[in-house]
Amino acid sequence: MNNNLNQDNTDSCAPEKKSGRFRGQIISLLILAPVLLAVMVAATGLGSVNVPFGHTLGIISSRLLFFLDFGNPSWTEPQAVIIFDVRLPRVVMAALCGAALAMAGAVYQGLFRNPLADPYLIGVSQGGAFGAVLAIFLPVNWNAFSVWMIPAFAFSGALLVTFLVYRISRTGNVLPATTLILAGIALGAFFSAGVSYIISISGTKIGSMVLWLMGSFNNAMWNEVRVTFPIVLAGLFVLILFGRSLNVMQLGDDQAKQLGLNVERDKKILLAVSTVIVAAAVSFVGIIGFVGIIIPHAVRLLWGPDYRFLLPLSVLLGAIFMVATDIAARVLFAPAEIPVGVITAACGAPFFLYLLRKKIKSIF
Amino acid sequence: MNEYEINLKEVSLAYGNTEVVHRVSFGIKRGVFAGLVGPNGSGKSTIIKSLSRILEPVYGQISLRGQNIKNMKQKDLARLLAVVPQNAVVPSLFSAFEIVLMGRNPHKGFLSYEDEKDMSIVRDAMEKTDTWRFRDRRIHELSGGEIQSVVIARALTQDTDIIVLDEPTAALDVARQIEILNFLRGHCKERNKTIIAAIHDLNLAAHYCDRMILLKKGDVFMNDAPSKVITNENLSEVYGSGSYVYPHPLSGLPAVLPMVEGIFHSQEVIANLSDCAPSGLWLFWYLFRRALPRAIDQRLSAFIYAYFRAESP
């Protein structure tokens, strides 16, 4: 009798667990991808000049698929310019940034095995901010380069500081996570001091500096997108390949090695690639906080901790979230626009507190 | 050419500038259950770490199947040797099943997903270690002993010919200790696997190991069969006084009892027996056995041991 009961217990839930193990995640991926496209189209249509959804779709598809004949357009030329040349690059940039930040956040949290890690943990933001503020401050007439000066400085600053942090914390061939974090905090503080100093002596330029620091998609045009798009996309593809490695890394360096992982090599690749995509995003739009922390945790809560799905789901959810917050930034107090960083922080801080209230242990 | 499955040649290991293991050499043949014993700080865990290349030797070389592990790829090493660490860190959100599944990592490519074969290997390992019943529980809901079993299941899932364990039974109760060690010994003998385990409990080590490597302050003090290693002389030399060896009443194998100064019932008993004997019923049994001629005593113990073995499942 007792034996029979045991038999039933062991057999009942075994086989179907295998085949459908990731069904939920796969379905979610397939749903979220079109949702992202829909949100992006909606975001393009919304704004101070309202363009009907159908027209928006028509304008975008006719411009992207210019070789097809769509017949007589039912929209006006100014509408087309607003949609395609003003709003669409901004929306694409928002999606790219959201994807890059969420991805980097997920990767850093996995890499450092720390639920509070965010993409700015090891000095990207401070370095970027320092570079940007410096570029604005320098009393040089850059003329032709002026558009590119701030992003170029920010990008180099971000990479430089991260590289310094990396060099300082590396001992031999090993890269201890705690040293990396501490070096990141120390150097970050140093460069923050630099930022504060430059701001304090900058006089009239203070406005544009603060705006950059708060982060905004205001200046995103096709030229900027053309630079960010390939970097971020390539980075995302590389990082998604490392899902299995990140899973095993959760066991700690030693056990990961014992399970056949080339830990130090994978760490370096993950660090370098995620830093580059964050720097690419940050240098054009400024520092946008909380996305990199909220999104991976939300994905974890909804779909579990397996990095092979956590990473792509974070990318999609991050992009959707960023585009949505950008809509809010433009529409909430229209015609005035609030910096998108304000909205992400407003959403992020309560979520952060919620994470703290809930035991970290049960969610990470 | 090299008959040893695991071979250490003059291996020195150090943490920073502190050398912990000094020019240690020993070999373990295929299909042998070897125990690494010694007091705290004698270098057991350090040697275990060096076998999986977490700690590189500062001198000498370690070879597995005649191949220097220094020249092996991490992945190839993980296909040959699995490790059960002492206090395994396990990420709390993963289920027991997912942790065990990670043991398939060295056999999987960059992007490949686990197939039916991996699943059945995992299930097999989890059923053998009695962890299948809580496969879907989050790992942080499990007890220390259960986590230990999960990690052992993961090592089995790695499907290696060598398994290295660091204190595999430290967190377990007596029944579980015996269950796990029985299983490991069976696994070792039936499938001709090589197992090396750092074991604190000399009694358990003596009963399960084919060979014991007794370490003393980073040197191999002795490397022999348990009955040769576990003697009063050796133990007092390595551990200092505080333990007493006598033949296990059932198995006849050496067993170790704590010997604490000043906590004897009476000094006379010790004086009479010339050494310390267990009290009560065991004392009677012990005296009875001592009275028998050695040959008969051995027959008796073999019979009793076989009888109890047959009884247990």
Chain B residues 114-143 within an 8 A CB cutoff of chain A: 116, 119, 123, 127, 132-133, 136, 138, 140
Quick one: pLDDT at residue A360?
Answer: 57
Quick one: pLDDT at residue B138?
Answer: 85
Quick one: pLDDT at residue B254?
Answer: 82
pLDDT tens digit string along A287-337? Answer: 888 888 889 988 888 888 889 899 999 999 999 999 999 988 888 887 778
Contact A217, A281 (CB under 8 A): no
- pLDDT over 60 (residue B21): yes
Which chain B residues have a beta carbon less than 8 Å from that of A254? 49, 52, 54, 85
Which site among A9, A11, A257, A259 would you substitute to test the B interface, given the most B Cβ atoms closer than 10 Å to its Cβ?
Answer: A259
CB within 8 Å: B49 and A254: yes
CB within 8 Å: B133 and A10: yes
Q: Looking at CA atoms only, how far is residue B135 from chain A in angstroms?
A: 10
Flag whether residue A258 sits within 8 Å of chain B, measured between CB atoms. Answer: yes
Which chain A residues have a beta carbon less than 8 Å from that of B78? 257-260
Rg of chain B's alpha carbons, rounded to an integer?
21
Lowest mean pLDDT among A129-143, A216-230, B4-18: A129-143
Give the residue among B164, B176, B84 at the shortest CA–CA distance from B130. B176
User: The CATH number of A12-363 is which of 3.40.50.300, 1.10.3470.10, 1.10.10.410, 1.20.120.80?
Assistant: 1.10.3470.10
- pLDDT over 70 (residue B268): no
Q: CA–CA separation, A113 vs A240, rounded Å?
A: 18
Contact A174, A264 (CB under 8 A): yes
- pLDDT over 90 (residue B107): no
Q: Looking at CA atoms only, how far is residue A256 from chain B in angstroms?
A: 9
Q: Looking at CA atoms only, how far is residue A345 from chain B in angstroms?
A: 26
B258 — pLDDT class (breaks 50, 70, 90)? confident
**For the residues B111-135, what does the mean pLDDT come to?**
86
Q: Looking at CA atoms only, how far is residue A322 from chain B in angstroms?
A: 27
Choose the closest CB to B132 out of A10, A361, A364: A10
Minimal Cα distance from B155: which residue of A? A259
Chain A residues 307-326 within an 8 A CB cutoff of chain B: 308
Q: What is the ipTM of this complex?
A: 0.76
Mean pLDDT of chain B: 82
Flag whether residue A259 sits within 8 Å of chain B, measured between CB atoms. Answer: yes
Strands B59-64 and B4-15: antiparallel
Please list the residues that pair with B67 across neighbouring strands.
B64
Quick one: pLDDT at residue A11?
Answer: 39
Flag whether residue A20 sits within 8 Å of chain B, measured between CB atoms. Answer: no
Dihedral (CA of B168, B174, B175, B181) sign: positive
Flag whether residue A268 sits within 8 Å of chain B, measured between CB atoms. Answer: no
Q: CA–CA separation, A214 vs A342, rounded Å?
A: 7
Mean pLDDT of chain A: 82
Q: CA–CA separation, A251 vs A185, rounded Å?
A: 25
Quick one: pLDDT at residue B281?
Answer: 63
Which chain A residues have a beta carbon less than 8 Å from that of B99? 251
B313 — pLDDT class (breaks 50, 70, 90)? very low
Residues 6+ apart with CB under 8 A from B202: B37, B230, B235, B243, B256
What phi, psi does B221 have (nearest 5°)? -85, -40
Which has more confidence, A258 or A51?
A258
pLDDT tens digit string along A2-18? Answer: 444 343 343 334 444 44
What phi, psi does B52 have (nearest 5°)? -100, 15
Q: CA–CA separation, A93 vs A85, rounded Å?
A: 13
3-state SS, chain B, equals: CCCEEEEEEEEEEEECCEEEEEEEEEEEECCCEEEEECCCCCCHHHHHHHHCCCCCCCEEEEEECCEEHHHCCHHHHHHHEEEECCCCCCCCCCEHHHHHHHHHHHHCCCCCCCCHHHHHHHHHHHHHCCCHHHCCCEHHHCCHHHHHHHHHHHHHHCCCCEEEEECCCCCCCHHHHHHHHHHHHHHHHHCCCEEEEECCCHHHHHHHCCEEEEEECCEEEEEECHHHHCCHHHHHHHCCCCEEEEECCCCCCEEEEECCCCCCCCHHHHHHHCCCCCCHHHHHHHHHHHHCCHHHHHHHHHHHHHHHHHHCC
Q: Give the number of other Cβ atoms within 10 Å of residue B298's Cβ.
A: 13
Q: CA–CA separation, B60 vs B65, rounded Å?
A: 16
Flag whether residue A364 sits within 8 Å of chain B, measured between CB atoms. Answer: yes
pLDDT tens digit string along A134-164? Answer: 888 887 665 555 667 888 888 899 889 888 8
The percent of residues above 70 in pLDDT, for chain A, comes to 88
Minimal Cα distance from B87: which residue of A? A255
Flag whether residue A360 sits within 8 Å of chain B, measured between CB atoms. Answer: no
Quick one: pLDDT at residue B236?
Answer: 84
Q: Looking at CA atoms only, how far is residue B165 from chain A in angstroms?
A: 12
The percent of residues above 90 in pLDDT, for chain A, comes to 20
Residue spans per domain, chain A: 12-363
Quick one: pLDDT at residue A364?
Answer: 61
Q: CA–CA separation, A350 vs A212, rounded Å?
A: 24
Prediction pTM value: 0.81
- pLDDT over 90 (residue B240): no
